[in-house]
Structure 1
Amino acid sequence: MIGVPLKHERISRILAREIQDGSHRSGERLPGEHLLAQRFGVSRTTVRAALAELSEQGLITTRTGKGSYVLFDGRPPDDRLGWARASAVRGAATTVRTLAVRETHDGALAAELGLARDAFVRVERIRELVSDGTVVSYERSSLPPLPVLRELPVCGVGPESLTELLLRAGLRPDHGEQRIGGRPVDVREAELLRRAPGDWFLETRRTSRAADGSLVEHVVSLLDPEHFQLTLACG
């Protein structure tokens, strides 16, 4: 017999669906507890339980006296793989901008990942504060040159997230590894981030692989420590 979801579970599922389909965008403040309680016809205690579930899923962050803010940006956290997630901590609205999508050859990365071919589709993106355009992160994704992904340099990323594009290309992460540290940014990175060379940033390097060991995605992210925290999710 299938159990009936509790009230807070039903609410968290509805809000999660709205967040994931873009009705509530990354950095946006959710309606307050009182408004949510009115909307769903429940107590504020029930609303708090629903928000706590969304927070545990990495979809929102809640700060006392300030409200709940959306963290989801098209990359659903994969708790099963135990990735450390980078979460904006100040509740500021942000937007993601694609800088470049191109085919490239990178022998050093191919050797590092143990790949026979050195061809990749590389996507570079930055995240900026909506308020003043401050760049708070830079992300460089290296993808296998499959037909769907090789079209990206021509058609661009478009409205789909990279996760959706990878799934459309038949790439599903099964396992991988992630390294986390910090380092000063080099001259080119500093230019993209609009910072000074040598400024210190958090760095994550994540490699996702399919069940057969083939590459799904290799991502290098540089995160402004003033705006991000890292949270390890295990499940």
Structure 2
Amino acid sequence: MTGPVRLKHQRITVALEREIRSGQVPRGARLPGELALARRFGVSRTTVRTALAELNEAGLITTRTGKGSFVLFDGRPLDDRLGWAHALAAQGVETRTRVLRIALCHREELCGRGDLCGREELCRRDGLAGVPGLDSPEVVVIERVREVAPQTVVSYERSCVPAVGELRDLPARGLAGSLTEALNRAGLHPDHGEQRLSGRMIDDREAELLRREPGAWFLSARRTSWAGDGTFIERVDSLLDPAHFELSLTFGEKTS
């Protein structure tokens, strides 16, 4: 922010933004509750909410409504706002991410598995056609696997994001850094979403990618996220090794 700070909430926004950007408060870390911040700055909780809304709009934080689902790796929480590569590193877990494919596809041709299968009935039922907030006719598909040691793959992820801005050039340029960072540079900041989790046996292709036997049991997660104005941000389908990953649900969380 630039220029003189005159309003109470702007003083809070500037102070918290400085702490986040300097690393004093790690990006994606949970801030104190509204009541604690109100006491710290000597303002009302309404003023704090206004400041947090500005930080959320700037992509520095993501506010939560008191409930949600969070992926755990070996019992340690992974904050999706950071991207899993950074979140795992923050937990002291060394991983290597291998990008398998980056492709530009028409959303009407994608089936629920993220492939160009040509089976229109499956596309309509489980693909991206008709997903709220997705205005771009094309999407970029990114497939990745994560390894915690050589030859030890713990997850396979397939992300679909709108083919807008610099994201449309990813198939030609490649993914430098994390996909979360690329989304932020494109002005796409997740605000809310939904996640589904089930278990299933992996097929032959997935088994080859995960270096497991066909029919092995994996956690299957689908997360879809939108911006505050309802714009589609990302759908990511993941296969997670249940020996390392689990899902934690919270509800009725207090803000103070």
Normalising by structure 2, we get a TM-score of 0.57
Is 1:155 aligned to 2:140, yes or no? no
| Deviation of 1:134 (Å) | 0.5
Partner of 2:105: 104
Structure 1 pair 15–88 and aligned structure 2 pair: CA distance change class (3 A): farther
Please list the CA deviations of residues 205-233 of structure 1 after superposition, one character each: whole Å capped at 9, or x if unmatched: 01111233221000101100011122235
Q: 1 CA distance for matches of 2:226 and 2:204?
A: 31
CA separation of 1:167 and 1:111: change in aligned 2, threshold 3 A: same
The counterpart of 1:143, out of the listed 136, 139, 161, is 161
* Contact 2:63 2:191 (8 Å CA) reproduced: no
For the residues of structure 2 that align with 1:186 and 1:212, how far apart are their CA atoms? 37
Q: SS of the residue aligned with 1:123? A: strand
2:64 to 49, 65, 80: 80
Tell me by how many angstroms 1:150 deviates: 0.8
| TM-score, normalised via structure 1 length | 0.62
Q: Does 1:177 align with 2:194?
A: yes
User: What CA RMSD, in Å, does the superposition of the two structures yield over aligned residues?
Assistant: 3.3
After superposition, give the CA deviation of every residue in 1:20-68 in whole Å (9 maximum; x if it has no partner).
69xxxxxxxxxxxxxxxxxxxxxxxxxxxxxxx88x9xxxxxxxxxxxx
Partner Cα distance (1:146, 1:226) in 2: 37
**Which residue of the partner structure matches residue 223 of structure 1?**
240
- Once residues 198 and 141 of structure 2 are traced to their aligned partners in structure 1, the CA distance between those partners, rounded to angstroms, is 22
Alignment of 1:33-112 (within 5 A): 80=64, 82-89=67-74, 93-107=94-108, 108=123, 109-111=127-129
Gaps of 5+ in 2: 1-7, 12-18, 33-59, 76-91, 109-122
Which letter does structure 2 place at the counterpart of 1:156? G
- Structure 2 CA distance for partners of 1:222 and 1:147, relative to 1, 3 Å: same
Amino acid in the other structure paired with 1:122 = V
User: What is the CA deviation profile of residues 132-168 of structure 1, one whole-angstrom value per residue up to 9, with x for unaligned ones?
Assistant: 3300000100001103101111111112x21121111
Question: Could you tell me the percent identity over the aligned residues?
Answer: 45
Pairing partner for 1:125 from 131, 138, 144: 144
What is the count of residue pairs matched by the alignment? 172
Cα offset, 1:183, TM superposition: 0.9
Alpha-carbon spacing, 1:127–1:78, altered in 2? closer, same or farther (3 Å): farther
Question: Is 1:110–1:118's contact at 8 Å kept on the other side of the alignment?
Answer: no
Structure 1 distance, partners of 2:61, 2:247, is 12
- Whole-angstrom CA distance in 1 between matches of 2:128 and 2:200: 23
| Counterpart code for 1:140 | R
Matched with 2:227 is: 210
Q: Which runs of 5+ in 1 are unaligned?
A: 3-9, 22-52, 57-75
